[in-house]
């Protein structure tokens, strides 16, 4: 009977093979088990499906700034876990910040067995705010524990939503606890310390997150700016041209 497409024909998708050795049945890992474990670790990171295929190899580095950011990401992966700090990717939308952050987490999870989590900043704020409701299913501590304890945290789109002061305190405690536990954090943000007024952006990252959070990020992460053409616009234009 033929195996289903995509299912290992040797173990039929179980990941183990039962062999007869010296008149005894002995279970050993199938050669495909490594691939299964890598896929499970990748899925456990919570990286959105849209970014699961993002790698450094398919990152569009068409400016010196983007080439530098890609090199920083490669060096981080190669040196991990012997890194002194995380990374903070900043720059306008469409430059590949999330691509690089997810590519790092994905490669480390699948090649070095790193346990990590991805979380969108706005989603995290919603989880925190919901935990304070009287009818909340989970306490603030229970909500935050996975993000506090995970070996590597990717915090995407920092500042996308402007938190209330009390949420800023919770966010600071999250980052401060990770800092004290020597946990590594990678973050991305559209907001910079010195925004380019020509782009129309006037708010700084500190304006969005508060002084204490930005100050802690200075100590936790190396700043990596991304400047260059808007990748999304380029892809959108190419897609439109391909239709005609």
CATH number of the domain that residue 172 is part of = 3.40.50.300
Please say if the pLDDT value at position 235 is more than 70: no
Please name the residue that has the structure tokens 């919770």.
170
Q: For residue 219, what pLDDT is reported?
A: 94
Statement: residue 242 has pLDDT above 70: no
In a domain, 22, yes or no: no
Stretch 141-145: mean pLDDT: 89
Residues paired with residue 28 on neighbouring β-strands, in sequence order = 17
Sheet holding 184-189, edge to edge: 116-120, 152-156, 184-189, 86-90, 221-225
Q: Would you state the pLDDT for residue 240?
A: 36
Looking at the structure of the chain, the number of domains it has is 1
Q: What is the mean pLDDT of residues 136-152?
A: 88
Is it true that the peptide bond before 238 is cis, omega within 30 degrees of 0?
A: no
159: in domain: yes
Q: In this predicted model, which residue has the larger pLDDT, 182 or 234?
A: 182
| 3 state SS of 118 | strand
Q: Dihedrals φ, ψ of 118, to 5°?
A: -105, 140
Nearest to 228 by CA among 96, 89, 71: 96
Domain membership of residue 31 (yes or no) is no
Confidence of residue 233 (pLDDT cuts 50, 70, 90): low
Rounded distance between C-alpha atoms, residue 211 and residue 209, angstroms: 7
pLDDT averaged over the chain? Answer: 87
Phi, psi (degrees; rounded to nearest 5) at 240: -65, -45
The verdict on residue 10 lying in a domain is no
Query: Among all chains, which residue has been given the structure tokens 């391909």?
Result: 242
Q: Please check whether residue 228 lies inside any domain of the structure.
A: yes
Distance CA 20, CA 17 (A): 10
Say what the pLDDT of residue 140 is.
76
> What are 111's two structure tokens?
């090649």
Domain that holds residue 60: 44-242
CA pair distance 46, 30, nearest whole angstrom: 26
Which range in 18-22, 40-44, 126-130, 132-136 is most confidently predicted, on average pLDDT? Answer: 40-44
- Assess if residue 19 is contained within a domain: no
Q: Is pLDDT at 241 greater than 60 in this prediction?
A: no
Beta bridge partners of 25: 20
Q: Does 95 fall in a domain? A: yes
pLDDT of 33 above 80? no
Q: How far is CA 31 from CA 6, 12, 140, in A?
A: 14, 12, 42
- The continuous run of DSSP H or E covering 224 comes out as strand 221-225
Q: What is the pLDDT of residues 186-221, one digit of tens each?
A: 999 999 988 766 666 678 999 999 999 999 999 999
Would you state the pLDDT for residue 195?
73
Burial class (CB within 10 angstroms; exposed 0-12, middle 13-18, buried 19+) of 1? exposed
Cα–Cα nearest to 235, from 65, 107, 58, 66:
58
Note whether residue 29 is domain-resident: no
DSSP-assigned letter for residue 188? E
């Amino acid at each position: 009977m033929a195996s289903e497409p995509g299912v290992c024909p040797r173990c039929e998708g179980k990941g183990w093979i039962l062999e007869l050795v010296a008149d005894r049945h002995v279970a050993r890992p199938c050669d495909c088990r490594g691939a299964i474990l890598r896929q499970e670790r990748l899925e456990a990171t919570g990286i959105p499906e849209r970014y699961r295929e993002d790698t450094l190899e398919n990152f569009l580095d068409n400016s010196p700034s983007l080439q530098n950011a890609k090199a920083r990401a490669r060096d981080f992966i190669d040196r991990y876990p012997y890194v002194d700090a995380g990374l903070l990717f900043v720059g306008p939308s469409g430059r590949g910040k999330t691509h690089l952050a997810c590519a790092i987490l994905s490669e480390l999870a699948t090649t070095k067995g790193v346990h990590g989590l991805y979380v969108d900043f706005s989603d995290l704020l919603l989880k925190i705010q919901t935990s304070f409701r009287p009818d909340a299913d989970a306490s603030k501590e229970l909500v935050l524990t996975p993000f506090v304890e995970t070996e590597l945290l990717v915090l995407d789109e920092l500042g996308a939503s402007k938190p209330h002061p009390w949420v800023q305190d919770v966010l600071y405690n999250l980052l401060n606890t990770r800092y004290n536990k020597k946990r590594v954090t990678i973050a991305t943000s559209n907001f910079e310390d010195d925004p380019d007024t020509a782009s129309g952006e006037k708010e700084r990252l500190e304006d969005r997150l508060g002084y204490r959070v930005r100050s802690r990020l200075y100590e936790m992460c190396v700043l990596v700016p991304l400047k260059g053409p808007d990748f999304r616009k380029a892809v959108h234009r190419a897609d439109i041209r391909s239709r005609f």
